[in-house]
């Protein structure tokens, strides 16, 4: 990747737990990252969340900031990226927003109720003690601000890939609904939807295949499309599903939308 930026060190770095090879594979042309963006675009459209307003957003667990780059291209938002993984933020893609090495548990005073949008994309599944993490995250959000969440779905799909990627669990609608209701004094649940129903069979095949893969090759085998044409085909499938199948009964991922109460 090019266009690398400096980052601001606001907290003490922690040892890297997320597999570095995922970042190496997950470029901005990867079908799943493009599919996830289309799901987000549809969510914003369905709830009339403006892409033209210059909202100030915070993406937690930004990694190399591919999602930040995608969102800033799709919207007029300014997205700050925060992560405690120094190896990732050191290589973050340039954006309109700032990039921090930052532990939200520090609750720096200048960030209190600072952001219009909070983005938690594929973060919560890594967190033990998620209630404390979510409380810290929401502390940074303005009253009335939006919370955008994406997590892997369905524990029946949990595999060696999830374990290698550091996933504690995969969510379902009930777990997500219970999660929001647990925080009901602070947030209002707006929408929960599955996406990626077309990928369920592929993920089940992956689960079976990974039984025979060496530990050091699990992330590459589990996330990298085996051929370029398959990546292109799955990108096209994602565009179609995101537009035509808005409320699938199941999916490999789950998206959530909430709002911080005034």
What pLDDT does residue 3 have? 46
Q: Which CATH class is domain 8-260?
A: alpha beta
pLDDT tens digits for 164-201? 999 999 999 999 999 888 888 889 999 999 999 999 99
Whether 77 and 117 have beta carbons less than 8 Å apart is answered as yes
Model confidence pLDDT, tens digit, residues 216-234:
999 999 999 888 999 999 9
Do the Cβ atoms of 118 and 60 come closer than 8 Å? Answer: yes
> What is the mean pLDDT of the segment spanning 230-253?
94
Residues 80-100: pLDDT tens digits?
999 998 888 888 988 999 999
DSSP bridge pairs for 146: 117, 259
Which residue do the tokens 């990546």 mark? 231
pTM: 0.93
Predicted confidence (pLDDT) per residue in 126-152, tens digit: 998 899 999 999 999 999 999 999 999
The pLDDT value given to residue 1: 39
């Amino acid at each position: 990747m090019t266009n690398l930026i400096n980052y601001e060190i606001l907290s003490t770095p922690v040892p890297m737990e997320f597999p570095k090879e995922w970042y190496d594979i997950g470029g901005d042309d990867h079908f799943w990252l493009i599919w996830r963006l289309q799901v987000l675009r549809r969510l914003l459209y369905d709830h009339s969340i403006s892409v033209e307003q210059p909202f100030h957003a915070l993406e937690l667990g930004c990694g190399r900031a591919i999602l930040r780059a995608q969102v800033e291209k799709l919207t007029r938002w300014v997205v700050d990226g925060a992560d405690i993984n120094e190896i990732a933020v050191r290589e973050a893609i340039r954006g309109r927003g700032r990039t921090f090495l930052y532990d939200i548990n520090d609750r720096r005073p200048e960030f209190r109720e600072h952001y219009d949008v909070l983005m938690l994309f594929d973060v919560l599944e890594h967190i033990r003690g998620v209630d404390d993490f979510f409380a810290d995250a929401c502390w940074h959000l303005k009253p009335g601000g939006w919370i955008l969440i994406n997590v892997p779905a369905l524990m029946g799909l949990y595999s060696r890939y999830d374990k290698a990627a550091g996933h504690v669990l995969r969510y379902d609608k009930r777990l997500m609904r219970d999660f929001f209701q647990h925080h009901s004094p602070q947030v209002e649940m707006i929408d929960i939807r599955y996406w990626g129903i077309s990928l369920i069979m592929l993920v089940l095949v992956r689960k079976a295949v990974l039984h025979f893969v060496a530990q050091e090759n699990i992330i590459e085998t589990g996330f990298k499309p085996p051929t370029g044409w398959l990546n292109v085909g799955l990108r096209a499938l994602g565009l179609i599903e995101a537009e035509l199948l808005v409320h699938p009964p199941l999916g490999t991922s789950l998206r959530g939308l909430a709002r911080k109460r005034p």
